[in-house]
Amino acid sequence: MTGKGTSSRLDKVPENLRTYVEILGEDDAMNLFLFLGGTSVYLPAKSGNKSLLSRAVGAEKADALAAELGAGYIKVPIARQWIADTMFFRGHTNAEIARVIRCDESTVRNWFNSEGAN
């Protein structure tokens, strides 16, 4: 469910995640955040098979991130609330979302209830 849906939802992406989503696409960005979120990883100028980041998203996309962010260590965002919003948009239930992002289902429900109040 990327492609057309991704570009129309870029306005929903928090600024600190936007570069990742634009370069990687929604699916790979979510996978990266789930796999490495909250950790510091080395972003080489030119990726190889040994790079943790290139193993997560592919060497070409890792190289594109390095071109935009610069080589060196980056701290990968956790992005749980954005992942929850994206999954909900794709039709996942609160329970499914909670299992994927490892939080209580009531937390997910509260996020969506507070968004609806705004």
Considering the entire predicted model, what is its pTM?
0.85
What are the pLDDT digits (tens) for 41-82?
999 888 887 888 888 899 999 999 999 999 999 999 999 999
What are the pLDDT digits (tens) for 17-27?
999 999 999 99
- pLDDT at position 118 is 42
Confidence at 11, pLDDT banded by 50, 70, 90 = confident
- pLDDT at position 68 is 96
Long-range contacts formed by 85-91: CB under 8 A, 24+ apart? 85/12, 85/111, 85/115, 86/9, 86/12, 86/26, 86/30, 88/112, 89/5, 89/9, 90/1
